[in-house]
Amino acid sequence: MLHKILDIVRSATGRRQLTDEARQILRLDAAGVPDSDPGIDIAVRAAIAWLGRAQDSSASADGGVAREYSLISGWATSYPETTGYIIPTLLDYARISKDDEQRDRARRMLDWFVEIQLEGGGYQGGRIDSEPVVPVTFNTGQILLGLAAGVAEFGDAYRPALNAAGDWLRDSLDPDGCWRRHPTPFAAAGEKAYETHVSWGLFEAARQEPDRGYGEAGLRQVRWALTKQRNNGWFDDCCLDDPAHPLTHTIGYVLRGVLEAYRFADEPDLLEASRRTADALMPLVDACGFLPGRLDSGWRPTERWACLTGSVQIAHCLMLLDQFTGDARYRDPAFRLTGYVRRTMRLDGSDGVRGGIKGSFPVDGAYGAFQYLNWAAKFFIDASLLEARIREAGAART
C-alpha cells in the first residue's frame, strides 16, 4: 500500500513539472497502444540509431551510453552497468548487418571500461557521476558480458579487464553461492535471486577463460538462486525494491540467468526450472501482448501498466525455450510481447523519443516514468533479432 501511495504522490508532483513533449506523449499513450506495427527491421534500425544518439548525447560525454532520455530533464549521464551489456548487442547487430559503425561504438565503450575499472577489478553502481563510488556485484557482472564480447571480437586488449572483473566476482562469492559482500547502494538491501544475470557474465567469461573457475562459480550461484524458487516457478527475493511484487524486469533477469546456466552446463534440471517460471508467465500475456509490470507470488498482476523492458526480456526467454525444447507453445506469447512493444515505439519526434523504448506503457507508469531507457532498447533489439531468426527459419522450412 505504501508503495502505491508513493507512486501516486510522485505522479501528481511530476505532472506539475511536465514539459510540452511529455504532455504530448502522455496524451498519445492515453489513447492506447497503436494498431500499427512498424515491423522488425524498421524497429530494430530505429532502436540501434537511438542507442547511437544515447552514446553521443550522454551528459558525461565519455564513450558510455546515457542512462535515459527523460521527457522532463533530457539526456542523462552514462550508465556503466547497462552500457556493459549493450556491447554484445551492438556487436551482434554489426555482424548481421555489416555495420562497422556499431562495431566502432562498441569499442569506444570497451575502452571506457578499461579506464573506469576500480582497483580490485570491480565496477561502480549507478551512473558514472553517482555517489558513493563503490564496487558492486551486479554492475560488474553486466559489464563482464561486454568485456567477454570484446575479447571474442577484438582479442587480448580487453583480456586483463575481463580477468580482473571475473576474478573479483569469483572470489567475492560466498560459500553457499550468494553474493552478499558488494551490494548496490541504489536498491533495497537483501539477497537478490536475479543475480543469476551476473552468473551469465561469468559463463561468457568462462568461454574466453575456461580455466579460471568462472563457470563453476556461476553455476554455484544459480544453484543457490534455485533454492529461492517455489514449486509454481516463483522466485523469492527477486526485485530491486519490492520483493513481494517484483518487476517483470527482474523476473526476466532471473529467468535469463537460469537459461544461460542451462546453455552453459546442459543440465536438465536447469531447463526444468526455467520452464516452471516460463509456464507460469505465458498465461499472463494477453491477446494484444500486454503483460502487467509487477506480479505477486501467485502470479497475479498488481499493476495496470507494462514494464516494457521486462516484456521483451521475457519474450527473449520464451524464444530461447522454444529453441531449447522444440516446444512451439513458447513462440506465440513471445511474439505477442515483442509486437506490443514495437507498437509503443515512435518513429518520429525528438532525438530522445524517436526509436526509443519507454520504461513503462503508458509513459507515466511507475517504472522509468517519462523516460526512454537504454537497457529497454538493448533488450528490445536482442529479442527482435532472435524473433527475426526464428521467423526466417520457419519460412525456410515451409
pLDDT digit string (tens) for 204-247?
999 999 999 999 999 999 999 999 999 999 999 999 999 999 99
Task: Say if 300 falls within a structural domain.
Answer: yes
β-partners of residue 373 are 68
Query: How crowded is residue 41: how many other Cβ atoms within 10 Å of its Cβ?
Result: 11
Report if residue 120 sits inside a domain. yes
CA dihedral 371, 188, 61, 111 (to 10 degrees): -130
What is the model's pTM?
A: 0.95
What is the pLDDT, as a whole number, of residue 397?
A: 67
Q: Strand 306-307 relative to strand 360-361: parallel, antiparallel, unpaired?
A: antiparallel
**Domain span at residue 133?**
40-397
DSSP state of 195: G
Reading the block at residue 339, the C-alpha cell is 509486437
Judged on CB neighbours under 10 Å (0-12, 13-18, 19+), 239 is buried
Structural domain includes residue 213:
yes
Per residue in 54-109, pLDDT (tens digit) is 999 999 999 999 999 999 999 999 999 999 999 999 999 999 999 999 999 999 99
Positive or negative CA dihedral for 273, 275, 277, 280? Answer: negative
Inside any domain, residue 15: no
**Could you tell me if residue 18 is inside a domain?**
no
End-to-end CA distance of the chain: 52
pLDDT tens per residue, range 367-381: 999 999 999 999 999
Query: For the segment 166-202, what is each residue's pLDDT rounded down to a tens digit?
Result: 999 999 999 999 999 999 999 999 999 999 999 999 9
Q: Does the residue 263 lie in any domain?
A: yes
For the beta carbon of residue 120, count every other beta carbon within 10 angstroms.
14
| SS3 of residue 371 by DSSP | strand
Q: What is the DSSP string of 44-86?
A: HHHHHHHHHHHHHT-TT-SSS-BSEEETTTEE--B-HHHHHHH
Residue 342 lies in a domain: yes
Provide the domain count of the chain.
1
| Residue 16 counted as domain residue | no
For residue 213, give the CATH number of its domain. 1.50.10.10
